[in-house]
Chains A and B, each alone.
Chain A
């Protein structure tokens, strides 16, 4: 389940008014989320949650559901 917080961070970075994300949504399906913009989205998410992803974690992400899971596990580990 994609949180409103993650959705808002992505939409803001991509300058989109709205987009229906599901767990299976891949970056390539989202308007404006191309390979050049990928790092901007990742940096925006890191900033929003005050977390850091490892390089290998970024490369393994296949969809937004996995991004949400990774964020959740980072937040949990921080507590």
Chain B
């Protein structure tokens, strides 16, 4: 089945075409533990969206309006999202706030987003009414209203007559389709605007790379506010006309084996995962949960978002071979919201190549094969997908060529249209049509190897965290010397992800006071929804300053970890 795009085709037209071509084929299979899966077909999904179209239009939502959708795992999320899009409004899926997050912080985040993205409407659950309502009454707020679409009265006349008089304006291929938020704390996130053309071109190019076909079925627990969940596991199958099984991210993180059960029962063929998920499933699944589970149907298990770890793949392979897992289905890709999603992909049924690289040479900016102790596994993220080009550049933007480490720069047919209302940030990263990713890597024999980031971003279980946000918060704690705090990511091989660690200077000497300060630091992280795993308290003037006069993260991380190692 080839994915061809007609002239000026839109995602909306593709959805309607799929509803006509495959009316009874499953589109979204909604899973909830303890319940029978709910199955939206391509036609029932479109029909259900019409109820919401009537509701949104009668409520004053217009084409071009930005609609934040903040809803937990619910079957009606899908027709609602489609409805927002079909009226020409721009859906932006946001994370439902974690109970740990302080309501004021959540509100501040939404306000920041409203200033940046020009947020017009919020579609959410009644349970957030008291938290979000104060935002509308603010004078400077752009938010025009809040709706609770899951609680619409079914006897409402507008809803009852839905679908009778819908006359929607036809969008063009260049019209904005969706807004997804790139890394950063809520409110400081970068709003990535994608057009219909970008999403369709990406679907066509990526589908050919992964040899997507009509027998494929995607299975995903990924949150839909993340590009991997929204684009790879939702937009791609919906445009292509194949089913997607959607699990609850919160249920998965508590019971990782539900993904295996869904693959087994639904005979899923493709799954995208962040690196930590491989460790989590291998380590946290009980033997009895695997009884009768077969992963035979799986043809692609694609690792993306974080640096791909060889150890994580090995662990997963070893654990699940007894469940008919085919090791050749292990795959990898390199992806980001700014290019819609995928940039590179390994060839299906060929495991990602693994190189043993000399660490010293890598830090000197060059890849060299090695077999000595000071080596590092580098896992390939595959070849560049059609419609994309990749080059590796130095600080001045000069092309470095093969086997040299530098910044990964991308050109793509499915490039974003810039960060919405953020021209200065767009200008920093989008130069002459090339996207400067901030990621470091090298190309070897036509395949891309991603090895790190230029900036000090901490990636915890697929979520990007800026150390500055944590340092600012921790600096305000009583007992911590203001400005004398460093946050950094500590890679934990057992879980296959980084964890947040803090070094803070304090004048406290007594152990009981130090214990209280440590607890306060962890609590402070909780209020901004960040889990701090390790707190290292150090005496005044312990932290090494950078040339800019601030405590340097890299130097202090090396110092504290070296000290811990020496003492262990």
Measured CB to CB, the residues of A under 8 A from B are 16-17, 26, 28-29, 31-32, 34-40, 42-43, 52, 55-56, 58-59
Contacts and interface: CB of A to CB of B under 8 A. Distances in A.
15 contacts: A28-B98, A28-B99, A35-B250, A36-B253, A36-B280, A36-B461, A37-B531, A38-B253, A39-B253, A39-B255, A43-B284, A52-B286, A52-B288, A55-B33, A55-B258
B254 A59 contact: yes
B253 A59 contact: no
B255 A32 contact: no
B425 interface: no
Contacts of B258: 55
A36 B283 CA distance: 13
Nearest to B521: A31
A16 B522 CA distance: 11
A75 B519 CA distance: 33
Interface centre among B100, B250, B522 (most CB of A within 10 A): B100
Nearest to B289: A55
Contacts of B251: 59
Given A31-B519, A39-B253, 19 more contacts: A16-B519, A17-B515, A26-B99, A28-B526, A31-B522, A31-B526, A32-B522, A32-B531, A32-B533, A34-B526, A35-B98, A35-B254, A39-B254, A39-B255, A39-B256, A40-B284, A55-B255, A58-B255, A59-B251
B522 A38 contact: no
Contacts of B523: 31
Given A56-B34, A59-B33, A59-B34, A34 B100 contact: yes
A21 B255 CA distance: 24
Interface in B210-257: 250-251, 253-257
A73 to B, nearest CB: 18
B99 A35 contact: no
For this complex, into which size category does the number of interface residues on chain B fall?
A: 20 to 34
A55 B515 CA distance: 35
B255 A34 contact: no
A59 B31 CA distance: 14
Interface centre among A31, A35, A39, A40 (most CB of B within 10 A): A31
Contact of A39 (B99, B284, B461): B284
Interface string B505-538: 0000000000100010011001000010100000
Interface in B266-322: 280, 284, 286, 288
Nearest to A18: B515
Interface centre among A38, A39, A43 (most CB of B within 10 A): A39
Contact of B254 (A26, A32, A38): A38
Closest 4 CB pairs of A and B: A28-B99, A31-B522, A34-B531, A28-B100
Nearest to B101: A28
A40 B494 CA distance: 13
Contacts of A42: 254
Interface in B520-559: 522-523, 526, 531, 533
A58 B288 CA distance: 16
